[in-house]
Amino acid sequence: MAELHTKLKEKFPEAVLDLHDQNGDETVVIAKSALLTVGECLKNDPEFNMTVLIDLTAVDGLDMGWKPRFQVVYHFYSVEKNHRLRIKVGVDRKEATVSSLVKLWPAANWFEREVWDMFGIRFEGHPDLRRILMYEGFEGHPLRKDYPYNQRQPLIGPQN
């Protein structure tokens, strides 16, 4: 049986930029423009049947000199087939946007809000993209490597 990441490369040869398997964890790096198409395949194709979005996060590669600077990382799981797959999408600092997967996996709603709040990566098509951990008046995105850790934030008072 072909491995999941190999199957994905066969279905989307133009979209798959890199793939690897380390300690049984299959990872596929895809083009940002193909995220929705690949996501629909992972969810609806019986070969993959990824019914669960386990997690969605981001990594800032500033200190490592990554180009593009950020990676949005998705962890998928198929309950029926008991297999997992990690998808990574590169996101540039200047165009820090990626498509929302909320319509395919409703659990993406809070995950995407957290990534927006902490890293400043926008999710196009998200139904309610607003801060989830920090308060609305907070300036910046604290998990970016260039965020000034000693920056003073505006004080907020009681909300009426």
Average pLDDT over residues 101-110: 98
Q: Are 92 and 68 in contact (CB under 8 A)?
A: yes
Looking at residue 152, its pLDDT comes to 85
pLDDT one-digit tens code per residue, 113-124: 999 999 999 999
Asked if residue 1 has pLDDT above 50, the reply is: no
Distance CA 106, CA 112 (A): 10
pTM of the model: 0.92
Average pLDDT over residues 130-153: 91
Q: What is the overall mean pLDDT for the chain?
A: 93
- Reference 56, options 136, 112, 131; nearest CA is 112
Sign of the torsion formed by the C-alpha atoms of 84, 48, 55 and 75:
positive
Domains detected in the chain: 4-124 (3.30.460.80)
